[in-house]
Structure 1
């Protein structure tokens, strides 16, 4: 990809992320995004054929970046495994409950179990290191289930996050 095309793509994704994820303008139009990114609609549609394509690219960029970070964190043997688990869960919570809900509403397949299978597998691997006799796969599924974004409709985001982290610590034990 040409350097200017890559810059345009990055600018479009940054603006779309800001409008949709940070500012919660779920209904930001392609016109809004093109104008805010300083590109023409033609450029936007050449990069992303439609709004769903743009949302998919943004979802993939955000989850890909987060995956790189949590994978590195999970592999850092200098950090005790229980701390890695807690940091992993906090990162996944922030991604799935705070950052991605506008994208997941637009892309129902983003909520599918298979989308998050590698993440659950990595969490299960960490849990098995911390608690070798536990059913690590079940515990990872349970922790992920507690992070469902719709729970925020019932409690505040901070209470939800605190509860998920407490559940995680209690699940893996303190020793």
Structure 2
């Protein structure tokens, strides 16, 4: 099994985000309601911003009962993640199977750098929705399945550079600056540019790789 096959195989299923591909099979009427709800939610976010996203507003715009929205998505955080889903599926496909350096074929250090830079761009593009999704629940970021996929992906790559290290702790440490509330604070209050955030990651990675032994096969 390759590194990437192992990464995908060990990822726990998330409530809204598959590793790559569409949602599980569902009845035609349920699928139609899901599309209507997501289209309505995306339109509200596009027109009025993420703060306007509410279960009641989405139900009215989609022409369904609010109970249908709650049964399908559970809460506002899960709905926000579902709106994020299309970009997330493409991002996962890029780092699991896409071209190097983000995808397979590059060295571990190059792949970590490409992954983190791409994740900065994704966080920047969808910051408002991520703030909604992560702030509605203290555990939302970790309960959603994509976080564990990121963590395992980074841990496996770090292990190739620093096999003696606590790779899971280091993976969490690298992901921590991209929590939506911290990233939003740095960008909006601290005035940090995207380039500065990426440069900070480059400095961290320089320290991580400076004392590493030979890369594991």
Shared fold per TM-score greater than 0.5:
yes
CA contact (8 A) 1:81 1:129 kept: yes
Q: Which residue of 2 aligns with 1:143?
A: 174
Map Cα deviations across residues 54-107 of structure 1 (whole Å, 9 max, x no partner).
531442574662545443359943233222212222343445565212211123
Matched, 1:77 2:104: yes
After superposition, the C-alpha distances for 1:126-166 in whole angstroms (9 at most, x for unaligned) are: 11123334443332122122223333324335256324532
Taking only aligned residues, the RMSD between alpha carbons, in angstroms, comes to: 3.8
Corresponding residue of 2:11: none
In 2, Cα distance between the equivalents of 1:53 and 1:88?
A: 29
What's the counterpart of residue 116 of structure 2?
A: 89
The Cα of 1:9 is off from its aligned counterpart by: 0.8
Inter-partner Cα distance in structure 1 for 2:59 and 2:109: 44
2-structure distance, mates of 1:35, 1:149 = 28
Tell me whether 1:165 sits opposite 2:172 in the alignment. Answer: no
Distance 1:14 1:160 in 2: 35
**Which of structures 1 and 2 has the larger relative contact order (alpha carbons within 8 angstroms, sep 6+)?**
2
User: Could you tell me how far 1:30 is from its partner in structure 2?
Assistant: 3.3
Corresponding residue to 1:33 among 58, 83, 108:
58
Unaligned runs of 5+ in 2: 1-25, 213-217
Of Structure 1 and Structure 2, the greater helix share is in 1
In the TM superposition, residue 124 of structure 1 has moved relative to its aligned partner by 1.1
Query: Within 5 A, what are the aligned runs for 1:34-113?
Result: 34-36=59-61, 39-42=62-65, 45-49=67-71, 52-53=74-75, 55-59=77-81, 62=84, 65=89, 66-72=91-97, 76-95=103-122, 99=126, 100-112=130-142
Q: How far apart, CA to CA, are the structure 2 residues paired with 1:40 and 1:114? A: 27
Instruction: Give the total of aligned pairs.
Output: 172
Q: CA deviation at 1:40?
A: 1.1
